[in-house]
Amino acid sequence: MQKILHSDAVRNALIKRGLTQKNLASEVGVSAQAITNWLKGKDFPRPSALLKLAATLQLSFEELASTTDTNQPIVAFRKKGAAITTNAHINKAKEIGVLLKPLVP
């Protein structure tokens, strides 16, 4: 499953709010290079940054991001150091995503 940030929606929201990528980076708490990488599709925001990005730009998660598998929720989570992500981790994250989806407009 590939997660995709809708860069056009982000750019339109930036224009609408009169923000630059540098302003956005400051609001979200990341580097301007991270914003550039997200918009170019080279990287995807971590969960906390994705939440701040949605709140700052006043976009829903559906407007902000999608996945190549339309039947699955968007799953993003952090792991400790060099821990290996197992199928159990991914399945648990998907289950939590399904529970949280009705709570997010």
CATH number of residue 8's parent domain: 1.10.260.40
Looking at the structure of the chain, the number of domains it has is: 1
Q: What percent of the chain has pLDDT over 90?
A: 41
The residue segments making up the domain with residue 95 are 3-103
Determine the pLDDT at residue 17.
93
CA 19 centroid distance within chain: 18
Q: What is the mean pLDDT of the chain?
A: 84
Looking at the predicted structure, is the pLDDT value of residue 101 above 80?
no
Band (77; pLDDT cuts 50, 70, 90): low
15-69: pLDDT as tens digits: 999 999 999 999 999 999 999 999 998 998 988 898 899 999 999 888 888 766 6
In sequence order, which ranges of the chain are alpha helices (DSSP H)? 7-17, 21-28, 32-40, 47-57, 61-64, 87-100
Question: Would you say 29 and 56 are in contact if contact means Cβ atoms under 8 Å apart?
Answer: no
